[in-house]
Structures are given as structure tokens and as C-alpha cells.
């Protein structure tokens, strides 16, 4: 039987697939469509009747890359002002100690750390996404002085790569088809 988590994932995939074909729908509409497909009157009914995720076995949730930073102001300029992320968490063990910060945009969460042992500078993250052409156009329109990323057509999809001020690279890629 389909679990509530599986139904939510189905709604997310449906919304992404429709968006990739030029039809944007609200998340609530995709939930209602999945509920109907599963034979329920509406999403509220489906959510009440569908079982929770299986407690047995191994499951993985979301991977969150940790990227090394050396300058908080430059990190904010790049990740927030340029890429459009929002800060969702900041932590220092004490004033004056290194910052550990989380940023989020459209379901992607990244952790940025000034801590020496958390990550190596020059890392690369690969991110599947939808709307890569619009994202690239948004970035170009910002006239960021340290990068104007282009789009590359690759066998697995269309890709935009950005490099942060600390040598880390993020490859945003939209699947073909």
C-alpha cells in the first residue's frame, strides 16, 4: 500500500514533471491529483487514511552538503544575494567562534561552515532541479561581478555551474526529457 510519504513524493514528481513541460500548478493541486489517482475523495481524506512510512528497513532522507566558507559577508553576498537562498539557521558555540549556517531555496538546503574540519574548500555539489533556464537567466540579470554562468547541454541534462568565493562549485542540472 502507498504510504503518506510516497504519496507526497508522487505529488512532488508530478508537479516537477508538469513544470518541465510548461505547466505550473500549486503544490496543493498536485496533492489533490495524487489523492484522486489513489482513489480518495481529496488530499485530507488520503492523508488521514494512508499509512505512515514503514518503520522497518533503512531509509534515507535528504543529503545536505556542507561547504567550507572563510568570510561570512562574502558567503551571504554569494548564497543569499546572488543565488537567492535565505538563511534558516546560524550557530556559533560562542561569540567570535566560527559560524555554522544553513541556507535554503526551493527545497534545497545547504550548510555553510567556517569550521576547519567540516569540509574541504574546492568541493563540488551536484543538484537536480527544474527550471534551470529560468534560474540561469535570473543569475545573469543580477550582474554579479564574479560570475555569469552559462548553460551547458550534457548527455544527462542542461547544467549551470557556479563557483562560490571559496572555490566550491555547485552544478545545477535539469534532466533531459
| 96 in the same domain as 18 | no
Measured N-to-C along each axis, helices 4-20 and 27-37 cross at an angle, to the nearest 10 degrees, of 120
Could you read off the pLDDT of 5-26 as tens digits, one per residue? Answer: 888 888 899 888 888 889 999 8
Distance, in Å, from the CA atom of 83 to the CA atom of 139, rounded to the nearest integer, reads 7
Residue 58 counted as domain residue: no
Residue 57 counted as domain residue: no
Domain count, the chain: 2
Indicate whether 93 pLDDT > 80. Answer: yes
pLDDT of residue 55: 60
Residue 124 counted as domain residue: yes
Residue 60 counted as domain residue: no
Residue 54 counted as domain residue: no
| 154 in the same domain as 107 | yes
- 9 versus 93: the higher-pLDDT residue is 93
Kindly state the average pLDDT of the residues 72-77: 98
Kindly state the average pLDDT of the residues 129-148: 95
Residue 126 counted as domain residue: yes
pLDDT of residue 33: 92
Q: Write out the three cell numbers for 133.
A: 533556464
- Among 54-63, 96-105, 127-136, 160-169, where is mean pLDDT lowest? 54-63
| 80 in the same domain as 41 | no
For the ranges 17-21, 48-52, 54-58, 114-118, the one whose mean pLDDT is highest? 114-118
b/e map 63-84, b = 16+ CB within 10 Å: eebbbbbeeeeebbbbbeebbe
CATH label of the domain that carries residue 152: 3.10.180.10
Tell me what the pLDDT averaged over the chain comes to.
92
Residue 118 counted as domain residue: yes
Q: Give the domain range for residue 45.
A: 4-49
Distance, in Å, from the CA atom of 92 to the CA atom of 72, rounded to the nearest integer, reads 12
pLDDT of residue 54: 63
Is residue 113 within 8 A of residue 124, CB to CB? The reply is: no
pLDDT of residue 77: 97
Q: How confident is the model at residue 96 (pLDDT cuts 50, 70, 90)?
A: very high
- 39 versus 99: the higher-pLDDT residue is 99
| 42 in the same domain as 10 | yes
| 139 in the same domain as 84 | yes
| 43 in the same domain as 71 | no
| 113 in the same domain as 80 | yes
pTM of the model: 0.69
| 85 in the same domain as 42 | no
| 101 in the same domain as 23 | no
| 157 in the same domain as 85 | yes
The residues, ordered by sequence, that sit 6+ positions from 43 with a Cβ below 8 Å of its Cβ are 28, 31, 32, 34, 35
Amino acid at each position: 500500500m502507498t504510504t503518506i510519504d510516497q504519496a507526497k513524493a508522487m505529488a512532488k514528481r508530478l508537479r516537477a514533471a508538469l513544470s518541465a513541460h510548461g505547466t505550473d500548478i500549486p503544490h496543493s493541486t498536485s496533492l489533490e491529483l495524487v489523492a484522486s489517482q489513489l482513489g480518495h475523495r481529496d488530499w485530507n481524506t488520503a492523508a488521514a487514511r494512508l499509512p505512515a512510512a514503514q518503520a522497518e528497513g533503512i531509509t534515507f532522507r535528504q543529503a545536505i552538503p556542507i561547504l567550507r566558507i572563510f568570510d561570512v559577508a562574502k558567503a551571504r553576498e554569494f548564497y543569499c544575494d546572488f543565488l537567492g537562498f535565505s538563511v534558516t539557521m546560524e550557530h556559533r558555540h560562542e561569540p567570535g567562534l566560527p559560524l555554522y549556517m544553513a541556507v535554503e531555496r526551493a527545497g534545497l538546503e545547504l550548510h555553510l561552515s567556517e569550521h576547519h574540519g567540516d569540509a574541504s574548500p574546492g568541493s563540488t555539489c551536484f543538484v537536480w532541479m527544474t527550471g534551470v533556464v529560468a534560474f540561469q537567466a535570473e543569475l545573469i540579470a543580477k550582474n554579479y561581478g564574479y560570475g555569469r554562468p552559462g548553460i551547458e547541454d550534457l548527455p544527462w541534462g542542461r547544467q549551470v555551474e557556479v563557483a562560490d568565493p571559496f572555490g566550491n562549485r555547485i552544478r545545477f542540472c535539469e534532466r533531459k526529457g
